[in-house]
């Protein structure tokens, strides 16, 4: 059934948003309130809740997948059958990422090394399923999810069955572009059918194209049955020859000529890394028996040996061999007749479609329904074979348009005269901005209009990479007004905390409480409110006279330091050449600024200490403040402490008791530091209150206003 956003299922699972929908179910992003984690929930559609057969299949899907525990398989957490409310659903692992199909479409095609790396992960997941007696039966890139960290997981065991026998016979299922010949022909499938489908997937990874394509589903199925195995090197000449051999062995028409077990395929993929030429595959690739060729001397010798062995065998064995040979010939003859009949059926179907198209052009009100099931009829003396194509759980009857732009979708459906209309836009962490992410499920007819939902971009806002502290700098260029607009548009709850900063402009972001906006934890944004009241911006004194420079520093509550006199041919005597604190830099009041002054082209080098030059100031400039100092190291967390990772905001202040009243003076505004490092607390001249001999320097966690460390300092009048 269709559930609503915000609805809570069984007092535990809160529905957040719809991810996708398929022929049997809806898939939602949800929060497991009991475990505190994000999950995916697949809910059976209401029209199937009364169908016991569909419910049985739905339960079989969950039970099959729940047996599997592997890093390359999407995990199943829970299975719920609420018959009272007529709702049946499966709780699964939520994998943040894109399908392998979308990844291939973005890249065009992969190089050999990347394809092997992904293929080995997929093989690991399929091998785990096969060991548990489960045949997936719908292996394709749409059912593989590539997460943000590069992990590939096999998903959608919606048509998997526990294989209690070596071969399972049931209705033909799976996508026609990846379906094995035995599935298309008779519905039979086993582990080798998954290997064939994986071979088609590997071919697409290496070339960017499906191995067989056609204008209709029947044409594609026919290609799987009869067309030669395509060579990867024809579309990708630079691919490892070993991979071309591996794909060819996977896609053999007869199951007995393929890899018999998926682990054999995995071993060859690993060998291909060390031996890209594929020398280890020589003699192991079945040749195309449909080609006319000259037998080698070795092959002739083998045939003669077989004949000789046959002459000495029992008559019973001869009879059995002859019967097997006759059976093989009859099967091939039957197949040829069958394919001729299918080809004739296709020709008739094309002619009918052309006539129908012309009639539709003449009679605009005529409609021809699109079908998801096609049938190929044979002659009257043969059995009619119907090929049923079941759409995957995350696709619908127009499975090709998800992930396409509106223009691409219109072009894709042009032959059916179906039009795409944008009904609404929504954020999506799976699909890029501007592509189709969903549309109403159902059967559509020629001339229909499909109202779609288009992605507005990612729902989750990423602030920085938690594994790379250098990415924090990008935050400092974000204006809080722009960020608030994005957060409100996505309905993300947040809190703004204003803190002083001497390096980041007012209104710009300093840090955030977590690397992105996802998850149930509240988001806090630390925003700069500019310079602290106890900070000033040091002016550029270059070119000032010595007297003017000293007066300017005094007016800004900055302390003149040593003055160094140096001969200079460009500046006249008495002009400031340089300063110890760069102009434009923020500094705390009471900071010392030393000067370099020109003594003229013929002057001498000398130094006037701060004590000497302070005596030259007017008596009105005398400083009545008392001063102290500190030089220590403060560890910011430790590697062994819980949560000792990421960054923290730290400020430093002076606290003094003046006539029973606590007074604070900021020594350093809030700055971001990496947890686990050591903070150097060095202030050679701290300005305190006149007549107060003691003070406490406090290192503070600016986010929570808690004291990390404190040190008592002595204060005395300036000498």
Q: Tell me, what CATH number does 482's domain have?
A: 3.30.10.20
Query: Is there a single domain that holds both residue 484 and residue 588?
Result: no
Domain boundary among the residues 455, 483, 504 is at 455
Q: Could you give the angle at which helices 191-207 and 262-274 cross, rounded to 10 degrees? A: 30
* H or E element, residue 450: strand 449-455
pLDDT for residue 290 is more than 60 = no
CATH number of the domain at 631, please. 2.60.40
Query: Is there a single domain that holds both residue 90 and residue 102?
Result: no
Residue 142 · residue 178 · CB < 8 Å: no
Domain boundary among the residues 571, 596, 621 is at 621
Mean pLDDT (whole number) for 21-48? 85
Higher-confidence position of 597 and 64:
597
Mean pLDDT (whole number) for 118-138? 91
Query: Is there a single domain that holds both residue 410 and residue 475?
Result: no
Query: Is there a single domain that holds both residue 40 and residue 102?
Result: no
Per-residue pLDDT band for 304 (boundaries 50, 70, 90) equals very low
Q: In this predicted structure, what is the pLDDT of residue 286?
A: 52
CATH number of the domain at 153, please. 1.10.510.10
Query: Is there a single domain that holds both residue 266 and residue 122?
Result: yes
458-517 pLDDT per residue, tens: 888 888 887 776 677 778 888 898 889 889 888 888 999 888 776 778 888 888 888 888
Q: Which are the contacts of 122, defined by CB distance < 8 A and separation ≥ 6? A: 72, 144, 152, 154, 198, 201
Expressed as residue numbers, the domain containing 610 is 535-621
Q: In this predicted structure, what is the pLDDT of residue 16?
A: 92
Query: Is there a single domain that holds both residue 430 and residue 510?
Result: no
| Beta partners for residue 9, in sequence order | 13
3-state secondary structure 317-385: HHHHHHHHHHHHHHHHHHHHHHHHHHHHHHHHHHHHHHHHHHHHHHCCCCCCECCCEEEECCCCCCCCE
Mean pLDDT (whole number) for 172-195? 82
Percent of the chain at pLDDT exceeding 70:
79
Residue 690 lies in a domain: yes
Chain centroid offset of residue 646 CA: 21
Q: In this predicted structure, what is the pLDDT of residue 325?
A: 42
Asked which of 57-66, 509-518, 600-609 is least confident by mean pLDDT, the reply is 57-66
* Residue entry with tokens 């008592």: 712
| Beta partners for residue 232, in sequence order | none
Residue 304 lies in a domain: no
Alpha helices in 84-145 (DSSP H): 100-107, 112-131
Tally of structural domains, the chain: 6
CATH number of the domain at 54, please. 3.30.200.20
Higher-confidence position of 146 and 430:
146
Active-site residue, 521 included: no
Q: In this predicted structure, what is the pLDDT of residue 253?
A: 94
Q: In this predicted structure, what is the pLDDT of residue 551?
A: 87
Query: Is there a single domain that holds both residue 64 and residue 25?
Result: yes
Query: Is there a single domain that holds both residue 438 and residue 563?
Result: no
Q: Which are the contacts of 639, defined by CB distance < 8 A and separation ≥ 6? A: 676
Rg of the chain over all Cα atoms, to the nearest angstrom: 38
Q: In this predicted structure, what is the pLDDT of residue 366?
A: 38
Higher-confidence position of 25 and 162:
25
Residue 206 lies in a domain: yes
Residue 295 lies in a domain: no
343-381 pLDDT per residue, tens: 888 888 888 887 777 666 555 443 433 333 322 232 222
Query: Is there a single domain that holds both residue 135 and residue 278?
Result: yes
Residue 300 lies in a domain: no
Query: Is there a single domain that holds both residue 565 and residue 703?
Result: no
How far is Cα 175 from Cα 137, in angstroms, rounded to an integer?
10
Query: Is there a single domain that holds both residue 213 and residue 252?
Result: yes
pLDDT for residue 57 is more than 50 = yes
Domain boundary among the residues 78, 94, 110 is at 94
Residue 463 lies in a domain: no
* H or E element, residue 658: strand 647-658
Residue 309 lies in a domain: no
Mean pLDDT (whole number) for 684-697? 89
Q: In this predicted structure, what is the pLDDT of residue 313?
A: 43
| Beta partners for residue 216, in sequence order | none
Q: In this predicted structure, what is the pLDDT of residue 330?
A: 54
pLDDT for residue 410 is more than 60 = yes
* Catalytic residue chosen out of the listed positions 32, 138, 194, 331: 138
Residue 333 lies in a domain: no
| Phi, psi dihedral angles at 65 (to 5 degrees) | -70, -30
Query: Is there a single domain that holds both residue 604 and residue 677?
Result: no
Q: Which tokens belong to 391?
A: 């759409």
Per-residue pLDDT band for 127 (boundaries 50, 70, 90) equals very high
Mean pLDDT (whole number) for 77-89? 83
Q: Which tokens belong to 580?
A: 């110890």
């Amino acid at each position: 059934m269709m559930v609503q956003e915000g609805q809570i299922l069984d007092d535990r699972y809160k529905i957040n948003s719809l991810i996708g929908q398929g022929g049997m179910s809806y898939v939602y992003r949800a929060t497991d309130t009991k475990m505190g984690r994000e999950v995916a929930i697949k809910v059976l559609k209401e029209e199937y809740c009364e169908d016991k057969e569909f419910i049985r299949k739905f339960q079989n899907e969950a039970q099959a997948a729940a047996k599997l525990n592997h890093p390359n398989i999407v995990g199943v957490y829970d299975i719920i059958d609420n018959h009272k409310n007529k709702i049946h659903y499966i709780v699964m692992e939520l994998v943040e990422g894109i399908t392998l199909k979308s990844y291939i479409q973005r890249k065009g095609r992969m190089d050999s090394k990347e394809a092997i790396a992904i293929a080995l992960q997929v093989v690991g997941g399929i091998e785990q399923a096969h060991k548990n007696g489960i045949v997936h039966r719908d292996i394709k890139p749409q059912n593989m999810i590539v997460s943000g960290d590069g992990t590939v997981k096999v998903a959608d065991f919606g048509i998997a069955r526990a294989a209690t026998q070596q071969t399972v016979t049931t209705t033909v299922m799976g996508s026609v572009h990846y379906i094995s010949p035995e599935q298309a022909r008779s519905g039979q499938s086993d582990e080798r059918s998954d290997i064939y489908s994986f071979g088609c997937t590997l071919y697409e990874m290496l070339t960017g194209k499906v191995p067989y394509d056609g204008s209709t589903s029947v044409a594609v199925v026919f290609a799987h049955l009869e067309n030669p195995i395509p060579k990867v090197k024809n579309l990708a000449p630079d691919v490892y020859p070993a991979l071309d051999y591996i794909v060819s062995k996977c896609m053999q028409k007869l199951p007995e000529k393929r890899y018999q077990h998926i682990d054999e395929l995995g071993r060859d993929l690993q060998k291909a890394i060390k031996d890209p030429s594929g020398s280890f595959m020589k003699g192991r690739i079945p040749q195309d028996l449909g080609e006319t060729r000259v037998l080698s001397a070795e092959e002739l010798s083998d045939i003669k040996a077989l004949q000789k062995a046959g002459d000495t065998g029992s008559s019973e064995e001869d009879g059995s061999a002859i019967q097997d040979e006759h059976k093989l010939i009859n099967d091939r003859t039957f197949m040829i007749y069958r394919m001729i009949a299918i080809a004739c059926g296709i020709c008739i179907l094309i002619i009918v479609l052309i006539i129908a198209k012309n009639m539709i052009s003449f009679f605009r009100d005529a409609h021809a329904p699109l079908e998801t099931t096609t049938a190929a009829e044979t002659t009257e003396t043969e059995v009619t074979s119907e090929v049923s194509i079941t759409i995957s759980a995350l696709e619908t009857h127009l499975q090709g348009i998800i992930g396409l732009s509106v223009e691409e979708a219109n072009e894709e459906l042009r032959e059916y005269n179906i039009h795409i209309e944008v009904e609404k836009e929504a954020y999506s962490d799976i699909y890029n901005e501007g592509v189709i992410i969903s549309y109403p499920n159902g059967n559509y007819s020629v001339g229909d209009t499909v109202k779609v939902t288009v992605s507005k971009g990612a729902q989750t806002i990423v602030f920085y990479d938690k594994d790379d502290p250098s990415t924090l700098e990008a935050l400092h260029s974000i204006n809080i007004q722009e960020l608030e607009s994005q957060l409100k548009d996505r309905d993300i709850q947040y809190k703004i905390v204003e803190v002083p900063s001497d390096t980041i402009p007012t209104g710009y972001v300093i840090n955030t409480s977590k690397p992105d906006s996802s998850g149930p934890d509240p988001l806090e944004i630390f925003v700069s409110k500019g310079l602290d009241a106890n900070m000033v911006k040091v002016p550029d004194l270059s070119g000032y006279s010595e007297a003017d420079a000293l007066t300017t520093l005094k007016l800004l509550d900055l302390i003149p330091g040593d003055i160094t006199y140096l001969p200079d041919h460009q500046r006249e005597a008495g002009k400031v050449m340089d300063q110890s604190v760069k102009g434009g830099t923020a500094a705390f009041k009471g900071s010392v600024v030393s000067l370099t002054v020109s003594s003229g082209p013929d002057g001498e080098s000398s130094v006037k200490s701060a004590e000497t030059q302070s005596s030259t100031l007017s008596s009105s400039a005398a400083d009545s403040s008392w001063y102290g100092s500190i030089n220590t190291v403060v560890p910011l967390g430790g590697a062994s402490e819980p949560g000792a990772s990421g960054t923290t905001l730290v400020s430093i202040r002076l606290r003094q008791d003046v006539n029973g009243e606590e007074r604070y003076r900021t020594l350093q505004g809030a700055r971001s530091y990496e947890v686990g490092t050591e903070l150097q607390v060095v202030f050679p001249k701290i300005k305190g209150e006149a007549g107060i001999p003691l003070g406490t320097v406090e290192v503070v966690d600016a986010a929570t206003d808690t004291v990390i460390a404190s040190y008592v300092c002595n204060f005395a009048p300036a000498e």
